[in-house]
Amino acid sequence: MSPRFLLGEIWTGIRRNASMTVSVVLVTMVSMYLLGLGLLAQRQADTMKGYWYDRVQVSIYLCTDNSSRPNCGTGAVTEEQKSTLLTQLEALPEVKQVFYESEEEAYSRFQDQFRNSPLAGNIQVGDIPQSYRVQLEDPSRFGVVVSQFEGAAGVAYVQDQERVLNRFFTVINYITLFSVLLAALMVLAAILLMATTIRQSAFSRRREIGIMRLVGASNFTIRVPFVIETLIAAVLGALLAFGLLWATVHYIFSRFLNQVVLDQALIGDSDVFAVAPLMFAGVVALAVLTSTVTLWRYLRV
């Protein structure tokens, strides 16, 4: 098969089925974009886990005069109880460092974190109790601290940030799953559209195919132009999806969120390039497999 003949057949197929080819490009672009978003969402979750798990703290909130916690029936925590708690915390091998936060410091931190929220005006000094903030050597060992100090004298309750973070990461994982499932539906649509395009292209060239068979052309020679047409459309769709992903990450994450949210670990352009090989490999495999199976069923003799 000469390259000139092959290129001519490919151009003829694309020209005759231009609208269907454009549809394959667009559907592939959307499906790969959604799949890429799902992969990037998972990378974002992994990045934030690594970032935040190093900063996980266990907060031991102490009793106040107005505390309604069952363990605070005797009133506010005493200085002796605070000293005992600090000594016990510092003696634990799982504890890396202990920080004390007074009611005034807790109020100031809350006002700083929620300065743009209506909640800031509803909180007064004393509403957030004093606490010990415990940084762990291994964040996964938070259960040791929680179990030992829950119910201790002078302790209102113990809160570990990992429980809060796990809820956050669960939401991200659900978003990732939803993106991947939606991408899977779009991939199915792309497969059906590719198969329809191939069949329509083959039908429009049935006379040429009949002549090629009469002169002894092999099935491989007949099928190659259809496979390459489908591959070109799918790769173009993947390239467009890659461009959209890069623009999303570069302008929304790198240019905007990294300037607004300074204390977060966010994905960047390198993550887009990391998932790109998976996208292109998947598109190539999808296009070749779909066209091969469709042509095998439609053009077999």
* String of DSSP letters for 220-257: HHHHHHHHHHHHHHHHHHHHHHHHHHHHIIIIIIIIII
Question: pLDDT 10s digit of each residue in the chain, 301 long?
Answer: 555 655 555 566 566 666 777 877 888 888 888 888 878 877 777 776 666 665 667 888 999 888 888 888 888 889 999 999 999 988 888 888 898 988 888 888 778 766 655 656 677 887 888 999 888 877 667 777 888 888 888 898 888 766 666 666 677 677 767 777 777 787 787 778 777 777 776 666 666 666 666 666 566 666 777 778 788 888 898 999 999 999 888 887 666 555 444 445 567 778 888 888 988 988 888 888 887 777 776 655 4
Residue ranges matching CATH 3.30.70.3040 in the chain: 55-163
Under CATH, which number does the domain 55-163 receive?
Answer: 3.30.70.3040
Task: Please give the distance of CA 186 from its chain centroid, rounded to a whole number.
Answer: 18
Question: Is the distance from CB of 22 to CB of 150 less than 8 angstroms?
Answer: no
Does the model's pTM come out above 0.75? Answer: no
Sequence-distant (6+) residues with CB within 8 A of 120 are: 110, 111, 114
Task: Please give the distance of CA 79 from its chain centroid, rounded to a whole number.
Answer: 47
Per-residue pLDDT tens over the stretch 30-78: 888 888 887 887 777 777 666 666 566 788 899 988 888 888 888 888 9
Q: How far apart are CA 20 and CA 193, in angstroms?
A: 8
H or E, element range at 131: strand 131-136
Per-residue pLDDT tens over the stretch 97-126: 898 988 888 888 778 766 655 656 677 887
Task: Please give the distance of CA 43 from its chain centroid, rounded to a whole number.
Answer: 5
The torsion region of residue 174 among left (phi > 0), alpha (psi -120 to 50) and beta comes to alpha
Q: Is 44 exposed, middle or buried (0-12, 13-18, 19+ CB in 10 A)?
A: buried
